[in-house]
Amino acid sequence: ATPTAVMVATGVGANNGVLIKGGDALERAQKINYVIFDKTGTLTQGKAKVTTVKVFSEMDRGEFLRLIASAEASSEHPLAKAIVEYARHFHFFDENFLSEDAQNNREEFVQSGWLLDVAGFSALPGRGVQCFIDGKRVLVGNRNLLSDSGVMIPNDVENFVVELEESAKTGILVAYDDNLIGVLGVADPLKREAAVVVEGLMKMGVRPVMVTGDNWRTARAVAREVGIQDVRAEVMPAGKADVVHSFQKDGSTVAMVGDGINDSPALAAADVGMAIGAGTDIAIEAADYVLMRNNLEDVITAIDLSRKTFSRIR
């Protein structure tokens, strides 16, 4: 293609909210064989909602929610936001205590004094959070986080989590003082266009893949809903780039679509990295394409644009 054609295509992309960082990226997109999608925030809306709260101890629901919201208040993870949001609503309806500002605003809620003091907070990417409240360790996250921290997961709890996962929900386990005290179920609906885009890619001869840090059962349930057969689950953030490399081995051209900090190594490793515009700055920086409309149809738009630009002129 002539430099003019590339410039025109880049402009057409920009008009459609598809920002392309350079002619090389535009050219590579025509050859894409695989599109690897991150799950949370990419295939799904990233608007997780707590659907289930189950306390497995004497603690009452309010206390339980206060504890986990306190632990998650400093995390930026979509799951953490969902938990804090749920606790805020629960607390408002339960006690009618919150000021009007705090009812409407997460930050105000966090500042409202209802949450407990937290020491030694750490976010464990792909696993959850850990902190100390009243000198006791609090863990909120997946089963690997809890079992690797030496927390016993009783059978009834495990069965409950499995049930959640089979209905495409993420189960979040909570330990206080190294005892399992409860479980949350979180649902994150698919983007409306996700299934159509997956089907469209297959029609174009491009193979869709899903990669996620979430557990296998939830991952499979979500993949089934969206029509993706090839799934990689329980992948730690650094592992997502390895997944990209594994698809590149036979000389295939691999696109990665993601939104999170944990996707940025994979976005950089891919032949074509595509960041969701609503995603984190780090992901946007690592990508070759930015999909400003946050609509997955633009993955197809991007491939089409490249194919048209580079076939017409030859």
Contact (CB, 8 A) for 30 and 253? no
Residue 88 is a binding residue for ligand ADP (CB under 6 A): no
**198-212: b or e for each residue (b if 16 or more CB lie within 10 Å)?**
bebbeeeebbbbbbb
154 C-beta neighbours (distance < 10 Å), count: 11
Residue 258, phi then psi, degrees to nearest 5? -155, 170
Residue 141 is a binding residue for ligand ADP (CB under 6 A): yes
Q: Which of 28, 66, 77, 207 binds ligand ADP (CB under 6 A)?
A: 77
Is 230 a residue of the active site?
no
Shortest gap between Cβ of 198 and Mg ion (angstroms)?
Answer: 17
Among the listed residues 38, 214, 259, 263, the single catalytic one is: 38
Q: Where does this chain touch ligand ADP (CB under 6 A) — which range of 9-17, 51-59, 85-93, 123-131?
A: 123-131
Can you tell me the distance from the alpha carbon of 195 to that of 276, in angstroms, rounded to the nearest whole number?
Answer: 17
Instruction: Give which of ligand ADP, Mg ion, none residue 172 binds (C-beta under 5 to 8 Å, depending on kind).
Output: ligand ADP
DSSP 98: S
Residue 241, phi then psi, degrees to nearest 5? -65, -35
Instruction: Give which of Mg ion, ligand ADP, none residue 273 binds (C-beta under 5 to 8 Å, depending on kind).
Output: none
Residue 171 is a binding residue for Mg ion (CB under 5 A): no
Instruction: Give which of Mg ion, ligand ADP, none residue 1 binds (C-beta under 5 to 8 Å, depending on kind).
Output: none
Shortest gap between Cβ of 62 and ligand ADP (angstroms)?
Answer: 20
Can you tell me the distance from the alpha carbon of 109 to that of 73, in angstroms, rounded to the nearest whole number?
Answer: 10
Task: Specify the amino acid at residue 216.
Answer: W
- Exposed, middle or buried, 40 (CB in 10 Å: 0-12/13-18/19+)? buried
Residue 265 is a binding residue for ligand ADP (CB under 6 A): no
Tokens representing residue 297 in the block: 């149809």
Tokens representing residue 311 in the block: 């076939």
Binding stretches for ligand ADP (CB under 6 A): 38-40, 72, 75, 77, 79-80, 126-129, 140-142, 170, 172, 212-214, 237, 260, 262
Cite the active site residues: 38
Binding stretches for Mg ion (CB under 5 A): 38, 40-41, 259-260
